[in-house]
Amino acid sequence: MQPLGLRGLVAAGMTPMRPDGSVDVERIPTLVDHGEREGVAAFYVNGSTGEGPSLAGWERRSTAEAWVAAARGRLPVVVQVGHNSLVEARELAAHAEEIGADAVSAVLPSYFKPPTLEAAVDCLAEVAAGAPTLPLVYYHVPALSGVALDVPAFLELALQRIRTLAGLKYTEPKVFEFQACVERFGARIDCLFGADEMLLSGLAAGAHGAVGSTYNFAAPLYRRLIAAFERGDLEAARREQARSVEMVRVILRHNGNAGLKATMKLIGLDCGPSRLPQVTVGGTELEALRAELDAIGFFDWARG
């Protein structure tokens, strides 16, 4: 299967929730409209940013349906279907194919982790079998999944067995390993970089596309970064990346992933609370986050 051809910024979509913690799919079209205005190239949904692992199967299905319906004909949607149950992952993949998603993606099982590269490929092949007509993106995020493997060696085996494997979402700071993937497989699959605060490094290593959480509310910053890199102005690119680093450090000090959702609220796109075990940022902590972001100029340089 040919690469997806994803280029530029792929926003890791958030899952809106009501005050009682239930999923609020009615707000998803607004997020699609916002992303399109901000210049993102696609959406990656039900991943870490979208709290996919914390959603019930039926919630993941309804959320995927809402994203695909809202974005159809406008922007591609990649649905993350990874699950500790490969039976469920395969069914989620089949559902994504049925509703017209543009691709599926999967993290490997993280409770009982695959003990060998061959077992890891077996797991991914099971997921791929659920959506035989859709491109598949392997989601590598060892900080959350705990599945640390030799990615180039894994891709070598996986490409021999999984004809739909068309992409890699690489969320780890080992730029040298990401570069090895680009050099060896970049002509066959899309190698998407997944560390927002290191995007410049990813671009230098050969990335043409990137998946990230902060692209939801700081896409203008990253578009300037990419433009500066492409015209060879590394000083300007480093300046934008330094702002990204500072922004991410502030946000992660406020309950990690939940701080991302809180930042959406601060720009006027309230996505509701985070779901346990993540702790919602609200009250005085939300105001502290606002103050810290304001102090670094976020509301000026990240938004325009």
pLDDT score at 11: 98
Which residues pair with residue 103 across a beta bridge?
A: 78
Nearest to 291 by CA among 279, 299, 302: 299
Which pLDDT value is given to residue 148? 93
The yes-or-no verdict on residue 10 having pLDDT over 90 is: yes
Tell me the C-alpha distance between 32 and 82, whole Å.
Answer: 23
Element (H, E) at 232: none
Q: Supply the DSSP string of 53-77, one letter for each residue.
A: GGS-HHHHHHHHHHHHHHHTTTS-E
Residue 1, pLDDT > 90, answer: no
Structure tokens at 160: 């021999």
Which residue type occupies 1?
M
In single-letter form, the type of residue at position 298 comes to F
Check whether 303 has a pLDDT greater than 80.
no
What is the separation of C-alpha 25 from the centre of its chain, rounded to a whole number of angstroms? 19
State the pLDDT at residue 4.
80
- Residue 227 pLDDT > 80: yes
pLDDT tens per residue across span 247-281 = 999 999 998 899 999 999 999 999 999 999 999 99
Under the banding of pLDDT at 50, 70 and 90, the label for residue 3 is: confident
Whether 22 has a pLDDT exceeding 90, the answer reads: yes
φ, ψ for residue 101, nearest 5 deg: -60, 155
| Residues labelled catalytic | 139, 169
Set out the domains of the chain in order of their start, with CATH numbers. 8-218 (3.20.20.70)
pLDDT at 304: 72
pLDDT tens string 42-68: 999 999 999 999 999 999 999 999 999
